Amino acid sequence: MDEPTDEHGPAGGWDRSLLLGEDRVRRLLESALERVTVPDSAAIVLEGSIAEGFGNATSDVDFLVIVPGSREYLTMPTVLFVDDRRVEVRIRSAAQIEAQNERLRAMTRRGARPSATEFEDLLNRAQRLSRAVPLRNRPLVESTRALMPYDEIIAMVRGWYGQFARRAARRAVALAALGRDELAMPWARTSLTYGAKHWAAGRGETYLGIKWTTAQFQRADPPPGMLERHTALTTPGPLALSPADYVKAAVDLLGDLGVTDVSADPGQIYLRRRRDVTTWQIGSRLHVIRRRRQVYAFGDEAERMWRSLSFHHPVPRLLADAPLPRERAGGLLAEFHRLGLIQVCWGGPDGSIIPAPVSAPLPVVRSPLLGIDGLALPPGTQIGLAPLTAERFAAAGMAQAWANVEVENAREDLLGAIKNAQWPVALSSAHRMLRYTAAVLLNAYGTFPHPAVEEAVYHVRELAGPPAELVAGMERLERLFIGDPSWPEHAETRQDELADLVDRVRAHLNTAHSRSFPLSFDSADGWHDTLEIGYDWVRLGAHLDATLPIEEARDLIASGGQQPHVAAEAESAAAGDDRVASGR
C-alpha cells in the first residue's frame, strides 16, 4: 500500500496526533478487505472523525473505496465489527463521485435550504473525501479530490451553517416574541452551535458532524473573548439572564461569528396567510383544513384567536390586541405555526419565511399505536384498523426506527466521550440521546411528522398515554443538561439515568406487544437486527411513497435488506464478535 505523505489531514498526511496509529488502521483495513469485495484497482482512504483528528474509544473507523470507472454502487456502508472496533466501508465509483459533485454544485446555485437533506448528504460526502487520509492508490485519490477544490467546500459548508444559524436564531426570536421561552432558548443554543460551525468553516474546519463543534471552534483559534462568550452561553449552569436577554446575547454573538440578517427585535416577526389552509364553520364548531387532507377542530379560545389574526402588523402588536391573555394568545399562535396553518415571516408581512418543521397534532390516544413490529393490537384482538392513513403509518414507523438508531448512536458516542473525558462531546451526545428518545415516544403514539428534536421533550408532556413519572424523568434530564454545571462530575450517573430512561420508554412501548429495539452498534447481531427492522419499514414506506428518514434508506430495498459489497465466502465464514454484520 502507498505510504501517506504530508499533504492532507488535519495537520498533514498521517498526523501522529490521530487517535489511531497508521499500523492499527492498516490492520483494520486488511481485516475488512477479507470480507468486502474490492477491485484491485481501487483507491482507499480513511475518512470521518478519526481522519479529522477527533474521535474516541468508541468512534467507528470509516473507509471509502473509490473504484475507477462508472459502475453504480449503493451508498449505504457495509458495517463490520473488527477487533472491538466498528468499521464501515463505503464503495463509490469515480463517476459516481463526479456526478455527486455536479449535483452538489447545481443545488448550491439554486440555493439549497437547510431542510434539504440530499444537499447535506452530498456535502458531507464531498467534505469527508476532501480531508481523508489516502491509504491506497494515491493518484486516483488525488484526481478524484481535484474534482471539488477545498476552497469550494469551505464556501459551501460556511454558507450551509450560516443558513442553519440564521434560521434557528430567527425561530428563537419568534418563539420568544410569542412567549414560548422554554422553546426559544433551545433554538438560541442551536443557533450558537451552527454559528460556531459557520465561523470555524471559514477557517478551514469543515467537518459537518455537530458533536465535535467545540473542538473545531477551539482549533480554529477564535479571537480573545469569543470562545469564552460561546462557552458561557452553551455550557450547563444557572442562567443569570432572562430568556429574552439570553436570546439577545446569542444573537449578538452570532453577529460576531459572521451570521448576518438577524436581530433580537420581536418587531421583525410577522404572520402570513397560507393559501392551502381554509376555514369552515360546521354548526357551532370551527374547522380548519390544510392541503385538503388534514382537518383540525378548534375550541373556543383557538377559534377566537384564529378569527382575530391580522397579517399586516408585527406579532407584538397582534398580542397586544389579542382577545386572550398574552401568554395564551402567543401559545396558540406558536401552535398554529407548528401545525403549518400559518407562516411566520421576518422583516414584514412579505418578508423571508421562517421555516418550521411542520408536525402533526398529538393524537388523543392512551396507549402506543405502533412499535417496531407495526400496529399495536390489544390482547385477544385478531384484526385492528390503524387510526392513521397508510402513508402516515409507514412514515411514523420509519421515523421511529430511525430515531431508535439515533438513540443507539448517541449512546455509543456518550460512552466513548466519557471514557476520554471529552465533556462537550458527552453533553452533546447525552442531549441527543434524550431528545431522540422523546422522538421515539412521539412516533409510537402516531405523531408524524414529530416536532423538531429541540422541542421533542417539551411536547411529550402533551401525550395522553405515557406514565407521568416517565415524562417527568425526561423533563428533569432536559433541565439538568441545560442548567447543571456539575455535569462532568456526574457524567456516569447521567449516563446510567439515560440508559434507564431508554429502557423504561421501550418497556412502555412493549406493552403494545412489540419487541424492544436492538443495541444497533454493540455487535454484529445488533446491526443485523437493526437492518431487519429497517428493511421491513422502508419496503412499506417506499411502496406507499411515504417520507423516508434518510435517502440512504432506499438502498435497503435495492439490497433486499442485506449489506452491500460483502464477499459471499466472508459472509458465510464470519462468526464471533468480529463477524460481518449481514442482513437477512
Residues 212, 341, single domain; the answer is no
Domain boundary at 123, 154, 185, which?
154
Residues 339, 232, single domain; the answer is no
Position of cell 440555493? 111
What integer pLDDT is reported at residue 12 of this predicted model? Answer: 42
What integer pLDDT is reported at residue 362 of this predicted model? Answer: 62
Domain boundary at 353, 381, 411, which?
353
- Residue 80's closest CA among 29, 32, 22, 27? 32
Name, in order, each residue with C-beta under 8 angstroms of 576's C-beta and a sequence gap of 6 or more.
none
Name, in order, each residue with C-beta under 8 angstroms of 96's C-beta and a sequence gap of 6 or more.
70, 72, 73
Residue 107 lies in a domain: yes
Residue 362 lies in a domain: no
Residues 255, 309, single domain; the answer is no
Domain, as residue range, for 317:
268-353
Burial of 383 by CB count in 10 Å (0-12 exposed, 13-18 middle, 19+ buried)?
A: exposed
What integer pLDDT is reported at residue 138 of this predicted model? Answer: 96
Residue 531 lies in a domain: yes
Residues 110, 194, single domain; the answer is no
Residues 412, 280, single domain; the answer is no
Residues 248, 111, single domain; the answer is no
Residue 532 lies in a domain: yes
SS3 580: strand
Residues 166, 150, single domain; the answer is no
Residue 8 lies in a domain: no
Residue 196 lies in a domain: yes
Residues 308, 393, single domain; the answer is no
Domain boundary at 353, 386, 418, which?
353
CATH number at residue 348: 3.90.930.60
CA distance 472 to 467: 9
- Residue 573's closest CA among 563, 564, 582? 582
Position of cell 431542510? 115
Whether the bond into 488 is cis, omega within 30 of 0: no
CA distance 112 to 106: 9
Which pTM was predicted? 0.88
CATH number at residue 192: 1.20.120
Residues 101, 126, single domain; the answer is yes
Residues 141, 171, single domain; the answer is no
Measured on CA atoms in the order 111, 113, 114, 116, is the torsion positive or negative? Answer: negative
Residue 7 lies in a domain: no
Number of structural domains in the chain: 4
Residue 144 lies in a domain: yes
Residues 341, 439, single domain; the answer is no
What integer pLDDT is reported at residue 356 of this predicted model? Answer: 72
CATH number at residue 26: 3.30.460.10
CA distance 216 to 45: 22
Residues 348, 397, single domain; the answer is no
Per-residue pLDDT of the chain (584 residues; tens, 9 = 90+): 444 333 434 434 556 467 888 899 999 999 999 999 899 999 999 999 999 999 988 899 999 999 999 999 998 899 999 988 999 999 999 999 999 999 999 999 888 665 578 899 999 999 999 999 999 999 999 999 999 999 999 999 999 999 999 999 999 999 999 999 889 999 999 999 999 999 999 999 999 999 999 999 999 999 999 999 999 999 877 667 788 899 999 999 999 999 999 999 999 999 999 999 999 999 999 999 998 888 999 999 999 999 999 998 999 999 999 999 999 999 999 999 988 999 999 999 888 888 776 666 666 677 888 888 898 888 888 888 888 889 989 999 999 999 999 999 999 999 999 999 998 999 999 999 999 999 999 999 988 888 888 999 998 988 888 999 999 999 999 988 887 778 788 899 999 999 999 999 998 887 655 678 888 888 889 988 999 999 899 999 989 988 888 777 777 777 777 787 776 544 444 444 443 443 33
